[in-house]
Structure 1
């Protein structure tokens, strides 16, 4: 006759299953936290992009207004358009033709 088999403890198996479960839950939590952080960063970037786009549009509008009002302001200062434009070199005060390089 054989000796009766000793009953094995199930504790190591249960501990292994619980640690695998805990590890999987921890990984899921870290992944979810990372995704939420990325989502908030994306939202912040979209808001910043909208602000920059709005500022760009405002500056372009101001530039167009300045370009359209420049001739009138020049005439108000007594300036006239020249048919033969010339350039003035500031370093020595020489007057150059438009075709000449400074």
Structure 2
């Protein structure tokens, strides 16, 4: 460095403050002075363990939970489709039953007319056969 550069550097620095003397340090009661020594020996810090197993555990738990949610969601969706299909079958069966009941009601009302058109007459005193015993049972017409 040249003489002019050093002079310029000194001129650029702010004026130094006058140094003051600090008050002397005194020991506080109950401090290290009573224990007999000022510094304690401290063991070197232990090497920190690797975080890889923890991260692997977290990643595994996340993957397992995501797969579980996926399987559960798929199962519920399949069950929903099956339930919808079965509800459609139940509705179709109910319609079929209702149609058959209407056909039966219509046939019951037309039975007397059809029998008369075929030349049939109501029986005055019907005779029946018991299936269990095989005997002829006389009954009254209802």
**For the superposition of Structure 1 and Structure 2, which TM-score range results when normalised by the shorter chain?**
0.7 to 0.9
Structure number with higher helix proportion: 1
CA RMSD of aligned residues (A): 2.2
Q: List alignment gaps of at least 5 residues for structure 2.
A: 1-41
* Residue 117 (structure 2) pairs with residue 40 (structure 1): no
Larger radius of gyration: 2
Cross-structure match for 2:126: 85
Q: Distance in 1 between matches of 2:115 and 2:89?
A: 38
Comparing 52-61 and 1-10, the one that deviates more: 1-10
Give the C-alpha shift of residue 98 in structure 1. Answer: 2.0
Query: Among residues 31, 35, 44, which one is paired with 2:72 in the alignment?
Result: 31
| Alignment of 1:61 onto 2:61 | no
Q: TM-score, normalised by structure 1?
A: 0.79
User: CA distance change for structure 1 residues 5 and 63 in 2, over 3 Å: closer, same or farther?
Assistant: same
What whole-Å deviation, never above 9, does each CA across 1:30-80 have from its counterpart, x for those lacking one?
111111111111111100000000000011011111111111111011111
CA distance in 2, matches of 1:62, 1:55: 11
Count of matched residue positions in the alignment of Structure 1 and Structure 2 = 95
After superposition, residues 2-17 of structure 1 pair within 5 angstroms as: 2-3=43-44, 5-17=46-58
Q: TM-score, normalised by structure 2?
A: 0.59
- Structure 1 stretches lacking a partner, 5+ long: none
Partner Cα distance (2:67, 2:90) in 1 = 34
The alpha carbon displacement at 1:86 in A equals: 2.4
Pick the aligned partner of 1:20 from 42, 61, 81.
Answer: 61
